[in-house]
Amino acid sequence: MSFFVETWDPSYGSPIEINELDSASESVKVDAEVAVEKWKPISVPAVNLRSSIIFIDGVRRFDAHIWFEDEGHPHRGICATVGAGSVRCTATKAEVEHTRIERAVHTSAVGIADIELPRFGETYKFKATKDDSSEALNMSVQNHMARLEDLISAECEDEELVVFDGPLQQRELACGVGYVKSQHVQYLPDDVVPVLGKLKPGERTPLIDIEGRFLRWSWFLRLADVGSVASSIVRLELPRSLSIEAAVERANYVSALLPRYASMAHKESRAPQNLYPISGLERQLRRRLGSRDLLERGLRLASA
Amino acid sequence: MAKKKAKSVKSETVGRVIGIDDATPLEFWVAVEPGQALQLDDVVAMDRVLPSGEVVHIYGMVTQIRARHEGATFQSDVFLISEGILPAEVSEAALVQPTRFEPEILLPPLPGDPVRRAEDEERDIALSFDSVERRLPAGLSRNNEPVFLDLDFIDGTKGAHINISGISGVATKTSFATFLLYSMFTSGVLGAEAANTKALIFNVKGEDLLFLDHKNGDLKDKDAARYKPLGIDPGPFKDVGILAPPRRGDANATPSTGSRSLGVSPFFWTVADFCQQNLLPFLFADAEDERQQYTIVVQAVTAQLRQLPVTGDGAVNFDGQIIRTFGALLDAIENKLVPANPEDGADQRWTGRAVGTGTINAFVRRLASARRHVEHLIRSDIDDSAQHALDLDSHQVTVIDIHALHDRAKRFVVGVVLRQAFDEKEASGSAKPLQLVVLDELNKYAPRDSSSPIKEILLDVAERGRSLGIILIGAQQTASEVERRVVANSAIRVVGRLDPAEARRDEYGFLPGVQRKRATILKPGSMYIAQPRLPVPLLVEFPFPSWATRPSEAQSADEADSNVDPFEGL
C-alpha cells in the first residue's frame, strides 16, 4: 500500500479535510463548460504573463486578550493587529505595492474608548462586537482584516488580473480571481469526483457554476507534482458577471500562470498551495505588524 | 563666496543609521537609501542633537558595504526573486568608521539619523584637513580629490619620518617615496626652506632612480592632469646629483653605471678617510654584537688605524709604508695581527688584550672576505682622490647608486653615508633646512634580530633625527622584519600591496580589518596612509611619475644617452 506525506505543516491542518466534506448548501451546475459525461482533465496551453498579476492577502495577529469591568460585569475583549497588502508580479520583478496595518480592540463592552499607547505612538481603535463569544470576537477581527483587503483591492480595480487569497465572497471585481487553498466543501457530485484524481500538474477541471449567496464560476487546478493529487489541488473562483466564454478564456490563462508561483515544501509550510508571492507578502506584512511583545507591554502600561 | 556657498548647502541624505546592528562611536552601519549609492572610502557626515540642544557633527568614512535581499530566506530565493515570483527588497548598508566628532563628544549616532555625503569643506573637516596648516599633497582619493599629510608630522614639529611597507614590484614603494619628495619640493609646503632642503636617496634596485632629472616620456596628458588637483606642476626633479661606485679595476675610477653615463660622479673614500673616520666597523654587519669575540679586535684595529699619519693626498703612512689601496691596507693589518714569524707573537695593541688566535683568525677571515667587495670603494690611487669626498650639499637631491654592489658593500656605503649626514647635521646645530633620507630595504640595514653599526645609525636617525632635522623615508617589504623602534618612530605609516600572511601581523595594527584585507589586493599606485590626525587610514592613488623611472622613459633635449653603445661594458 502506498502513501503520501502531506506537504502542509501539520499545524495548519490538511488542505483537504475529507471527513468534513459535506454536500454544499449551495447549488452547483457541473455542465457549465462541458456536459457531465464529457468531464475530463483539461490541459491548458502555455502562456506568457501579459503585463502583471496582482496578489492580495491579509494577515492578523492577536496581541492580547483583555477584560473590561462594566459595573461588576466582566467583558472579554481582543486586541488584534491586522494587515493587508498587494504584490505586483511582472516577468522580472515581484514587489509589495500597497500595505495597510491597523490595530483594534474588539469587545462587546460599551462606553469603551480607543486604547492609546503613547510611548509607541500606536492606537487600538474600538470595534464593537455583538457578544463576548470567541466566535464573535474572531469574526470581528476577520472582518477588520477583510475590510483592509477591500481597501487594498479598491486600489487595484484597473489591473489585468488580481488574485485574492481566499474565496471572492462579496467582491465583484471584474479582474478578480478567488484562490482557495483548502477544500472544506464538496462542490462536485460523486460522478465527476474521479476526474480530480486524474488531474496532472497544470491541468484543470471544466468550469462549474455555483449558485448560493454569491454567484461564481469555479474550477479546480492541480498546481504541482507533489505528493498525492489531493494535496496539490486548489479551487479558483471568477465572478459570475463574466460570460462563459470570457470565463473559460480567463480560467485557461490563470491555470497556465499559477503553477509558476507554486511553492516548494522545503521553503513553505503550506506548499504548494501557498503561492510564493503570497507567502512573501505575508512575511512582509507580519514584519510590519510590529513587535507583539512591545505592544503587549504598551497595553499593560496603558491599563495601569 | 563660492566656498561659503558650498558649506551652507548640505548634500542630500544618502542613507540612515540602521537600528538592528549596534551603532557605536567606533563604527556603525548606514542603510543606503534607494536610488543612492555609497562606495568604499566615501566620506559621510551626520548630526546628532543632544538633549541640551547642542549639535554634535559626526564624520566618518565608508569601510565596508553589503547588499542583500530582504524577505528572502533561502539562497535559491534569488532565482524566484529575479523571475518576479517572490517579493523581496534589495537593501544596501555601509559600515562607517567615524573619523571625527565635532565637538568631541563621543557618542553613537542614533538609528534613523540621516547621513549625508561630506563634500568640499565638509570633507576637509571630516578628514581633519581644515586644521592642517601646512598641507603636503600625498595623492588623490578615488574621487580624484586631494589627500594631504600634515607636514608637522613629517618635519619634526610634532613627529617625523615616514615608513612604507609593501611587496616589491607592485607596492611601488620607491615611486611613492620619490613622489612625496617631489611634492615636498614643488608644492610650496616648505616655503622658503624648499630651496635648501636636501634629499639623499639610495638607489638599491635597478637603475630606477638614476633618471630623476629627466622628464618622463611615457607621461600621458591624462596622467599629467592628475597633478593639477594637488597643486603641483608635473616635471622632473630640478637639481639632481648622481653618485655611483667606481668601475671595478678601472684605474681612473670612472663611475660604474649601465645606461647612464652623463652627469654621474664616482663616489669612494680615501684610505685616510677610512682610517681617520673609524669606518672599519661598517665592514662588519655584526660588529656590535657583544657575543662576537672578534669585535674586540675590530675595536682595537679601528683605534690603531686612527693613529696612522696621513700623507695629505689621501694615503696613510703605515710603519713607513705609504698605503694607497684597500688591499695594501689589509695586508699591512694582517701582518700586524698574524706575524710571519709565529715566535714574534701578535701586537697586543692591534689585537686587543688576551685575545686568542682563533678570534684573531676569525677577524682576519672576515676582513679578507670583505676585500673583494669594497676594495674599489676605498682607494687613494687617483690623483685628485681627496676631492671625491662625498658631498651631500651641492645638489638638492643626491642619488647614491648602490644597486650593483655586494650586500656587504651596500651596508658599508649606507652606514658610512648616513653617519656622515648625521654628523654634519649634528655639527650644524640646526634642524632646518631638513635633510631627507630615502632608504629602501630597511630590513637589510636595521634587521629586527641583530645589532650592527649601520643599525645603530638608523636607530639614531629614527630616534634623534626628529630634533636634528634628519627625516627618514624608509621602506621595506615586511615591517615585521625591521627593528621595531625604527618603524615605531615613524609618524606616518604607508602601506602598498601586502603579502596576505604579512598583513596579519601586529605591525599593521593601524590598518583595521577591512583595510588590511584590501591591502592585499591594492593595485600599483595605490597606498594606504595612516597619519596621527586621523583614526582611519586613507587610500590614496598617486599620479604616474613625471620623471623618468627607467632609461626608456628618459626624455631630454640635450640627452646624449639616447645612443647608448649596446656593446658598452663587454
Beta strands in B440-519, from DSSP E residues, in sequence order: 470-476, 492-495
- Do residues A12 and A273 make contact, with C-beta atoms less than 8 angstroms apart? no
Q: Single out the residue of B258, B107, B134 nearest to residue B569, CA to CA.
A: B258
- DSSP for A81-113? EEEEEEEEE-SS-EEEEEEEEEEEEEES-SSPP
Q: Which ipTM did the prediction report?
A: 0.82
* CB-CB neighbours of B225 under 10 Å: 12
Report yes or no: B84 at the A interface, CB cutoff 8 Å.
Answer: yes
Residues facing B358 on adjacent strands: none
B20 interfacial to chain A (CB closer than 8 Å): no
> What gap in Å lies between CA B474 and CA B164, rounded to an integer?
6
Other C-beta atoms lying within 10 Å of the C-beta of residue B340: 7
| Better-predicted residue by pLDDT, B526 or A73 | B526
Low-confidence winner among A181-185, A188-192, B207-211 (lowest mean pLDDT): A181-185
**CA distance to A5, A264, B161, per residue, from A16 (Å):** 13, 18, 80
Q: Average pLDDT for consecutive 10-residue bins of chain B (570 residues)?
A: 44 91 94 92 93 94 93 89 89 94 93 92 90 91 89 90 89 89 90 88 87 88 90 90 84 75 83 89 70 78 88 83 88 83 74 78 85 87 70 87 89 90 86 88 87 87 90 92 91 93 89 88 91 90 90 62 50
Sign of CA dihedral B68, B72, B78, B80: negative
Cis peptide before A272 (omega within 30 of 0): yes
Task: Note whether B166 and B507 are within 8 A (CB).
Answer: no
Task: Find chain B residues with C-beta within 8 A of A260's C-beta.
Answer: 85
Say yes or no for a CB contact (<8 Å) between B87 and A281.
yes
Nearest one of B151, B96, B105, B150 to B128, comparing CA atoms: B150
CA distance A267 to chain B (A): 8
Q: Do B84 and A281 touch (CB under 8 A)?
A: no
Dihedrals phi, psi of A65, to nearest 5 degrees: -95, 135
Q: In this structure, are residues B97 and B33 in contact, taking their beta carbons and an 8 Å threshold?
A: no
Within 8 A by CB and 6+ apart from B166, the residues are B172, B173, B475, B477, B495, B496, B497, B498, B522, B527
Using DSSP's 3-state secondary structure scheme, residue A191 falls into coil
pLDDT for the residue numbered B324: 86
| HSE, side-chain direction, 13 A CA sphere, residue A194 | 5
Helix B295-306 and helix B357-374: axis angle, to 10°?
Answer: 60
Mean pLDDT of A118-127: 90
Interface probe with A: pick from B69, B74, B80, most Cβ of A within 10 Å: B80
Which cell numbers in the block locate residue B6? 558650498
Q: Mean per-residue pLDDT for A120-124?
A: 90
From residue A237, alpha-carbon distances to A121, A155, A260, A270, B349 in Å are 40, 20, 19, 20, 116
> Mind spelling out the 3-state secondary structure of B192-221?
HHHHCCEEEEEECCCCHHHHCCCEECCCCH
Tell whether A95 is within 8 A of chain B (Cβ). Answer: yes
DSSP state of A287: H
Lowest-confidence pick of A14-23, A127-136, B128-137, B511-520: A14-23
For residue A257, the model assigns a pLDDT of 94
When pLDDT is averaged across residues A199-216 and rounded to a whole number, the result is 91
State residue B266's pLDDT score: 86
Closest Cβ–Cβ partner in A89, A283, A284 for B85? A89
Q: What letter would DSSP give residue B157?
A: S
* % of residues, chain A, pLDDT over 70: 92
DSSP state at residue B103: S
Q: Is the pLDDT of residue A243 over 90?
A: yes
Q: Average pLDDT of A164-190?
A: 87
Nearest to A188 by CA among A214, A212, A211, A220: A220
Q: Testing the interface with B: which of A95, A99, A279 to mutate, by most B Cβ within 10 A?
A: A95
**A91-95 CB contacts, 8 Å cutoff, 24+ apart:** A91/A48, A91/A49, A91/B83, A91/B84, A92/B82, A92/B83, A92/B84, A93/B84, A94/A276, A94/A277, A94/A280, A94/B80, A94/B81, A94/B84, A94/B85, A94/B86, A94/B87, A94/B88, A95/B87, A95/B89
The answer to whether B88 contacts chain A (CB < 8 Å) is yes
Give the pLDDT confidence of B253-267 residue by residue, as tens digits: 777 777 777 778 888
User: Can you read off the three cell numbers belonging to residue B496?
Assistant: 602598498
Nearest chain B Cα to A85, which residue? B87
The answer to whether A124 and A103 are in contact (CB under 8 A) is: yes
Distance CA A191, CA A35 (A): 12
For residue B524, cis peptide bond before it (omega within 30 degrees of 0): no
- Give all domains of chain B, ordered by start, each with its CATH number: 2-131 (no CATH), 135-250+433-556 (3.40.50.300), 271-374 (no CATH)
* Tens-digit pLDDT profile for residues A245-300: 999 999 999 999 999 999 888 888 888 889 999 999 999 999 999 999 999 999 98
Beta strands in A225-274 (DSSP E): 233-239
Instruction: Please check whether residue A76 is in contact with residue A64, taking contact to mean a CB–CB distance below 8 angstroms.
Output: no
Any bridge partners for residue B438, and if so which?
B201, B473
Mutation choice for A interface testing from B20, B82, B85 by most A CBs within 10 A: B85
Report the DSSP pairing between strands B397-401 and A122-128. unpaired
Pick B87's closest partner by Cβ from A94, A260, A267: A94
Q: Smallest Cα–Cα separation from B41: which of B541, B542, B538?
A: B538
Give A 73-92 residues with CB within 8 A of chain B: 87, 89-92
Q: What is the pLDDT of residue B318?
A: 84
Nearest partner of B298 among B337, B268, B328, judged by Cα: B337
Mean pLDDT of A183-191: 82
Per-residue confidence (pLDDT) for residue A270, from 0 to 100: 83
Are residues B71 and A280, on separate chains, in Cβ contact within 8 Å? yes
* Residues of chain A found within 8 Å of residue B91, distances taken between Cβ atoms: none
